[in-house]
Amino acid sequence: MDNIVAELDLTENWYKILNLLNDGLMIVAPNGAIRFINHALENLLGYKRSEIIGKPCLMLDCDACEPLVSKTHETWCTLFGDGKELQKDCLMVKRDGSYVPVIKKASLLYNSTGEILGALEIFTDVSKLRKLDNELSRLSRKLYGNKGFQGIIGQTSSVKKMLSVVERTADSDAPVIISGESGTGKELVAQAIHNLSKRRHGPFVQVNSAALNPALLESELFGHIKGAFTGAYRHRMGRFEYAHGGSLFLDEIGDLPHSVQVKLLRVLESKKIERVGDQEPIGVDVRIISATNKNLKELIERGKFRDDLFFRINVIPIDLPPLRERIDDVPLLVKSFVEQLQILTKKEITGLTSETMHLLMTYRWPGNVRELKAALEYAFVIKDSGLIGPTDLPGYVHEDIDNDICLDLTNSGIECEEKTALIGALKKSMGNKSQAARILGISRGTVWNRMRKYNINPKKIVFS
């Protein structure tokens, strides 16, 4: 029997005890040779004991080990030099080449005379915890918005049509591309597709293609090995590996650099990735859901996006309508957001005045649903209780109404001048029709007729 095993008195009973542990366990000799691993570590890494006993522990390529390798000739590892216990989060390379995230704890073992026998290392698999963290984040995002269909709120025909497509495509593994302006809820739709699919128990991983430069984005997507480039001191697991068995949401895919487009196309065709700095292909089982607020066909014509990649990701297209085209959904959205904000802020705000709702229904919402939510969050900051009035909303909401007062009068410049002048007079008179008539030099009856003609609400004008 090996000296280290003998001195530790590892009898058959001890072997049984160590093999019953849920965490992986390894004993390493002072020269770095692996002397013992338990069943849990075999299962964790995919190695058989016979393949690993006697081999150097560096074969496991734990990325926390490199900083510990001694720069002196006294010991090959600083753990054996300073004797300090350590605990590190690290990635280990399994037999099939994939990474597994673990918490590694290591401590030296001594005999009765104080001589170092070796090191005991324990590895706790945290991959399930990472998945639970992702699921917790997803549930936290939904906690205060779980109304409607998978958190998507709307009853207009355009929303119902879109949701019908979402339901029909959820069980497919075909790539989906979601198109829509910023703020229309593309991430929410992507999450709904994942939640309804057979992959719903797997991870939902998101990457914003516009947030990183090409080199960082490539590492973010595919991962890298230790030493792949300057500053790569640790292994990095890419988003594709994190999304294995689930869905990968590539947001703003129209901003994907050309070099990354090439690699993404290769992954879609082969179902395998290559980490940066490594040529070993790793199989991945991931459904791609992408989103863009750009016209990809125009980008293809300008040479900014590959047409072969477009055909790969455009199998199931879903278009999201802007809020201005489903303005009748505003009251439903407002109700949901107000309820969320009431819970979050604990303020005694009871709702909106009719003038405020009319203002929200008239505004064109260039930032879509995201902007509507932000406007209500603003109101909850400056308002403590009661009903939200028009003056509690951000100023840009009122400015937009002023800028757009002639949008419905495209056929008559005279009518536009009439409407603009009437609104200006009503503002100056604080809504007083008789005073507005005097300002304009017309009768009070004419003011009334023009208000009806142009659908002008004096209360809205005063408060804007």
Query: CA 432 → CA 260, 402, 461, distances in Å?
Result: 63, 19, 11
Do both 237 and 282 map to the same domain? yes
pLDDT value of position 95: 87
**Which residue type occupies 5?**
V
Report the greatest alpha carbon distance in the chain. 112
Q: Range of 344's domain?
A: 323-402
Residue 116, class by beta-carbon neighbours within 10 Å (0-12 exposed, 13-18 middle, 19+ buried)?
middle
Provide the number of structural domains found in the chain: 4
CATH number at residue 416: 1.10.10
With tokens 């069943």, the residue in question is: 39
DSSP 387: E
Higher pLDDT, 461 or 333: 333
Domain end marker among 402, 418, 446:
402
Residue 378, class by beta-carbon neighbours within 10 Å (0-12 exposed, 13-18 middle, 19+ buried)?
middle
Residue-wise pLDDT for 137-190, tens only, equals 555 545 444 456 777 888 899 999 999 899 888 778 999 999 999 999 999 999
The residue count for the chain? 464
Do both 348 and 234 map to the same domain? no
Do both 301 and 332 map to the same domain? no
The helix/strand/coil state of 209 is coil
Do both 454 and 392 map to the same domain? no
pLDDT value of position 299: 94
For the ranges 67-81, 338-352, 419-433, 443-457, which has the lowest average pLDDT? 67-81
Residue-wise pLDDT for 89-113, tens only, equals 888 888 888 888 888 888 888 887 8
- Using CA atoms in the order 245, 247, 253, 259, what is the torsion angle rounded to 10 degrees? 0
Do both 183 and 330 map to the same domain? no
Rounded-to-integer distance, Cα 339 and Cα 335, Å: 6
Confidence grade of residue 1 (pLDDT, cut at 50, 70, 90): very low
Chain centroid offset of residue 333 CA: 22
Name the nearest CA neighbour of 7 among 23, 30, 25, 24.
30
CATH number at residue 175: 3.40.50.300
Dihedrals phi, psi of 455, to nearest 5 degrees: 55, 50
Residue 18, class by beta-carbon neighbours within 10 Å (0-12 exposed, 13-18 middle, 19+ buried)?
middle
CA angle at 150 for the pair 293 and 181, rounded to the nearest 5°: 15
Domain end marker among 319, 345, 376:
319
pLDDT value of position 15: 76
pTM: 0.65
Pairing of strands 86-93, 385-388: unpaired
Do both 120 and 9 map to the same domain? yes
Confidence grade of residue 5 (pLDDT, cut at 50, 70, 90): low
pLDDT value of position 400: 57
Do both 289 and 356 map to the same domain? no
CATH number at residue 344: 1.10.8.60
Whether the pLDDT of residue 70 is over 60: the answer is no
Do both 66 and 187 map to the same domain? no
User: Left (φ > 0), alpha (ψ -120 to 50) or beta: where does 48 sit?
Assistant: beta
Chain centroid offset of residue 146 CA: 17
Mean pLDDT for all residues in the chain: 83
Rounded-to-integer distance, Cα 320 and Cα 189, Å: 9
Query: CA 205 → CA 53, 208, 337, distances in Å?
Result: 37, 10, 25
Contacts (Cβ under 8 Å, ≥6 apart) of 286: 240, 243, 244, 245, 246, 247, 248
Do both 201 and 150 map to the same domain? yes
Rounded-to-integer distance, Cα 447 and Cα 441, Å: 10
Do both 93 and 108 map to the same domain? yes
Do both 161 and 286 map to the same domain? yes
DSSP 322: P
Q: What's the sign of the alpha-carbon dihedral 87, 90, 96, 98?
A: positive
CATH number at residue 15: 3.30.450.20
Dihedrals phi, psi of 160, to nearest 5 degrees: -60, -40
Domain end marker among 102, 125, 148:
125
Q: What count of other Cβ atoms lies within 10 Å of the Cβ of residue 15?
A: 14
Higher pLDDT, 52 or 139: 52
Contacts (Cβ under 8 Å, ≥6 apart) of 33: 54, 55, 56, 57
Higher pLDDT, 48 or 408: 48
End-to-end alpha carbon distance in the chain:
88
Rounded-to-integer distance, Cα 391 and Cα 223, Å: 50
Residue 382 exposure: Cα atoms within 13 Å on the Cβ side: 13
Rounded-to-integer distance, Cα 406 and Cα 419, Å: 8
Do both 443 and 390 map to the same domain? no
Rounded-to-integer distance, Cα 351 and Cα 207, Å: 36
